Amino acid sequence: MNVLVVAEHDHVSIKSATLNVVTAALQCGSQVHVLVAGEAAASAAQAAARVAGVSRVLHADAPQLAEGLAENVAAQVLALAPSYSHILFPATSGGKNVAPRVAALLDVAQISDVTRVVSADTFQRPIYAGNAIVTVKSGDPVKVVTVRATGFDAAPADGGSAEIEAVTAVADSGMSTFVERVVVKSERPELGDARIVVSGGRALGSSEKFNDVLTPLADKLGAALGASRAAVDAGFAPNDWQVGQTGKIVAPQLYVACGISGAIQHLAGMKDSKVIVAINKDPEAPIFSIADYGLEADLFEAVPQLMSAI
């Protein structure tokens, strides 16, 4: 069975979630091909070819693919779809933008947010904010799947030597136009990729305090900053820092939750972290039930003390 992985990339390198998707793909079928759709993305195609387990890279290069517009990328995937039993995307904003279009146009049901491949047609995925795992068996001829990156180890980025095949780019659909990309430049690791995440909740009280208390700790640990939805909704932290069911799903080596109660919707986004540290002044806070290390303390005292001890 041939499996197509639709790569997420920045035209130079492959985004890390793609490596996790390759691992899932190898559990679906023996031949894993990666589509790199972009403009002047030869470096990304070469990076994809080095990923262990990838047997072929399909490189579609055209101006209309430069910005990853969902309509054009979906059309590119559809042009290749007849050769594949499975089409896999990372369950990222990008993947979730394209996969439903592909599934709808192939008239198949999308299988979303897969965390385990049981067999080529059977998958597991979390439901009810991760409180239950459902096993889904698909009878569709093509399985269109989004893969939760934290459910699978990353395939080694080196060790492969796949051939790179140039494929004909589809015409511009004309259905959407790229206007502008606003990218926040940060020295910090990306939240989804970070090895350490320092996260803050409503307890921080203001964006100034969020910054004053948590930024030095994150700087010292080389961590990404995250936040609960309550902190985001209150304007203490930007939207793209939200961790949880309706935010980002992260599984870093270390997750430090400061003044976060541990509502199920928050836990859904971080409970797979390897080591969880919680600082909360309420001993009954649910976050303590999943924390490896819990500190019952006022964060405004505990975090500076932690800082000076590191």
Q: Which amino acid is at 304?
A: P
Kindly state the greatest CA–CA separation across the chain: 60
For the CB of residue 186, give the shortest distance to ligand FAD in the complex, in Å. 21
We find the least distance from the C-beta atom of residue 257 to ligand FAD, in angstroms, to be 8
Distance of closest approach, residue 130 Cβ to ligand FAD, in angstroms = 11
Name which of 53 and 244 has its Cβ closer to ligand FAD.
244
- Measured from the CB atom, is 57 or 204 closer to ligand FAD? 204
How big is the chain, counted in residues? 310
Q: How far is the CB of 175 from ligand FAD (least distance, A)?
A: 30
List, as own/partner pairs, every contact residues 208-217 make where C-beta atoms lie below 8 angstroms and the sequence separation is at least 24, other chains included.
209/236, 209/300, 210/236, 210/237, 213/258, 213/299, 213/300, 213/303, 213/304, 214/258, 214/303, 216/307, 217/256, 217/303, 217/306, 217/307
Nearest to 34 by CA among 172, 164, 193, 142: 164
Name the residues that contact ligand FAD, by CB under 6 A: 201-203, 228-231, 242-247, 259-261, 263, 265-266, 269, 279-282, 285, 298-300
Which residue's Cβ lies closest to ligand FAD?
244
Of residues 148 and 266, the one with the C-beta less far from ligand FAD: 266
**Residues pairing with 275 in the sheet:** 254
Closer to ligand FAD at the Cβ: 239 or 253? Answer: 239
Number of H helices, E strands in the chain: 10, 15
Whichever of 68 and 201 has its CB closer to ligand FAD, that residue is 201
Smaller CB separation from ligand FAD, 114 or 204: 204
CB 307, min distance to ligand FAD, A: 15
* Alpha helical stretches, state H, the chain: 16-28, 42-49, 70-80, 93-106, 207-209, 215-221, 229-233, 264-270, 287-290, 299-309
Q: How far is the CB of 281 from ligand FAD (least distance, A)?
A: 4
